[in-house]
Structure 1
Amino acid sequence: MTRSKRLLITGAATGIGAAGARLLADQGWELALLDRNAEALGQLASELQAVAYVVDVTDTVGYPHALRRAINELGGLDAAWSNVGMQTNGTVEQASLDEFDRSWEVNVRSHVILGQVAIPELRSNGGGVLLVTASNAGLQTESRMAAYSTTKAAAVQLVRLMARDHARDQIRVNALCPGFVDTPFNAPVWETYGGREAFLREVGEVVPLGRMSSAQEVALHVRFLLSDDASFLTGQAFAADGGELVS
């Protein structure tokens, strides 16, 4: 009998993370879910019968400890999806240094910590997959999003470096770069456009497909990038943005 693959997901409780967790659980993956939202995480873990740990990824002691405990409870690791992120609005002049620092902690350093814990586990397993949620904002310039775009660009470069360094370990590392996704995560962006309705009008103009994606659509891309169907893909920034980068 084929053993179920074991996957750790951070930022799992809501949005893209929760949609991906549900889809992958249906595909037979064994899941360990991490998030700081205790209520939503508990509900999802109960629904999916998954391992769950409440943790803040900016906790440099508690976070790696929770990762190791989750992997131990899974009995090993075949893949890890680092899905945490935060939005910060403003130009370089408007955003505070604290906002830049917090963006770095969440949008870059959290991926470094997960890589430091997950890569040795994947290597000992003979290989596997590390997926990082970045953003198409890391592949282009975004007005009034200096901290966000800068840190997402850093996340994409981190992915490329990890992919290069660990390809011989048979570890594939890719970045998922969504565009506008219809989840509360994008609420800070809506505010910069004067509210959700004004933002939707803007999306209709700048996104060739004329709309945001759903979390469920993005989950399908996650499933592909974690699967053996993507076995020859590594070091890639996979833009799921309705064509925004080419508009």
Structure 2
Amino acid sequence: MNLKLAGKVAVVSGAGAGIGKAAACLYAKNGAKVVVAVRTLSKGEETVKLIKEAGGEAILVHTDVSKLTDLQDMIKTAVESYGRLDILFSNAGVPGPGGLDEVTEEGWDQTVAVNLRSCFFSAKYAVEEMRKTGGGAIVFDSSIAGKVGSPMSPVYSATKGGIVTLTKSLALLLAPDNIRVNCVCPGPIDTKFVRQAWDRAPDPDAARLCNVSGVALGRMGSPEEVANAVLFLSSDESSYVTGTAMAVDGGYLAR
């Protein structure tokens, strides 16, 4: 069996559902020891349970990614528990406060804090540990909305676009440390997160149709399909890949 992450330690934020949960389980299946970082403990407990039932190893840490102290504790817990840190998948996110008229200062600040600021500071704290062991891999969860505009939530689109350029900047900065930095840009994925975003649109049915009709493959993707891309970017199989924003979108951006 080819365990792509044997002996490695991975931290996954937002690992209680959707893409984060799928990635955490796939990391463990491929030999990694996984730190499941979640805001809602009951969801994280389910992820840890699934990993352990499948023979993997994982621990749970309560993490509100909008709080820098929690991000520090997330990384600290990984190192104290497993002795090192090799992989960070910064996945936690929120849909954003809606259209232009709905955005408040509080909504703006919260979306930026969760979606963008958490990526920067979780990477900052992770890099301190990765340098000690000679390198690592960082993967951020962006979106196709980070490459093209999203009329449903301009704030969400702005944060995801920020992740794309943050990825490129950190990839250049950290290459001498043998730390690779990439992001995935999922298209319409069948998750509660995406359905909630549609429900907040003025016409939810029209929002869904607009999103899915643009997919060349004609369907929504699954969290597991995105997790496969995350695994590739986290493993040594992508050793010559850094600074890329990988679309996992069924051909949406090809149009």
Query: Which range, TM-score by smaller chain?
Result: over 0.9
Equivalent of 1:6 in 4, 9, 21: 9
Residue 135 of structure 2 aligns with an amino acid whose one-letter code is G
Q: Which residue of 1 aligns with 2:55?
A: none
Q: How far apart are 1:204 and its partner, in Å?
A: 4.0
Contact kept? 2:135, 2:179, Cα under 8 Å = yes
Q: Which residue of 2 aligns with 1:40?
A: 43
Q: Which string of whole-angstrom CA distances, capped at 9 and with x for unpartnered residues, describes residues 44-92 of structure 1?
A: 2133241110121112223312321222212101111111111024333
Q: Which string of whole-angstrom CA distances, capped at 9 and with x for unpartnered residues, describes residues 17-54 of structure 1?
A: 11111122111111111010100101221332411101
Alpha-carbon distance in structure 1 between the residues aligned to 2:236 and 2:74 = 28
Q: Does 1:207 align with 2:215?
A: yes
Residue 238 of structure 1 aligns with an amino acid whose one-letter code is M
Q: Which residue of 2 aligns with 1:70?
A: 78
Structure 2 stretches of 5 or more lacking a match? 53-57
Q: TM-score, normalised by structure 2?
A: 0.90
Contact kept? 1:174, 1:236, Cα under 8 Å = yes
Q: How far apart are 1:200 and its partner, in Å?
A: 4.4
Q: Which residue of 1 aligns with 2:197?
A: 189
Contact kept? 2:185, 2:248, Cα under 8 Å = yes
Provide closer, same or farther for how the CA distance between residues 127 and 64 of structure 1 changes in structure 2, counting only shifts above 3 A. same
Alpha-carbon distance in structure 2 between the residues aligned to 1:44 and 1:204 = 28
Contact kept? 1:6, 1:31, Cα under 8 Å = yes
Provide closer, same or farther for how the CA distance between residues 204 and 130 of structure 1 changes in structure 2, counting only shifts above 3 A. closer
Structure 1 stretches of 5 or more lacking a match? none
Q: Which residue of 2 aligns with 1:61?
A: 69
Provide closer, same or farther for how the CA distance between residues 204 and 193 of structure 1 changes in structure 2, counting only shifts above 3 A. farther
Q: Which string of whole-angstrom CA distances, capped at 9 and with x for unpartnered residues, describes residues 101-142 of structure 1?
A: 111100111111111111111111111101111111011111
Q: Does 1:168 align with 2:168?
A: no
Q: Does 1:114 align with 2:117?
A: no
Contact kept? 1:89, 1:189, Cα under 8 Å = no
Q: Which residue of 2 aligns with 1:24?
A: 27
Q: Does 1:87 align with 2:95?
A: yes
Equivalent of 2:229 in 198, 221, 224: 221
Runs of 4+ in 1 over 4 A off after TM superposition: 197-200
Q: Which residue of 2 aligns with 1:136?
A: 144
Residue 157 of structure 2 aligns with an amino acid whose one-letter code is S
Alpha-carbon distance in structure 1 between the residues aligned to 2:187 and 2:113 = 21
Q: How far apart are 1:166 and its partner, in Å?
A: 0.5
Q: TM-score, normalised by structure 1?
A: 0.93
Provide closer, same or farther for how the CA distance between residues 135 and 227 of structure 1 changes in structure 2, counting only shifts above 3 A. same
Q: How far apart are 1:228 and its partner, in Å?
A: 1.2
Q: Does 1:179 align with 2:154?
A: no
How many residue pairs get aligned? The number is 245
Contact kept? 2:97, 2:107, Cα under 8 Å = no
Q: How far apart are 1:4 and its partner, in Å?
A: 1.4
Identity %: 33
Which has the larger displacement, 132-141 or 91-100? Answer: 91-100
Residue 194 of structure 1 aligns with an amino acid whose one-letter code is D
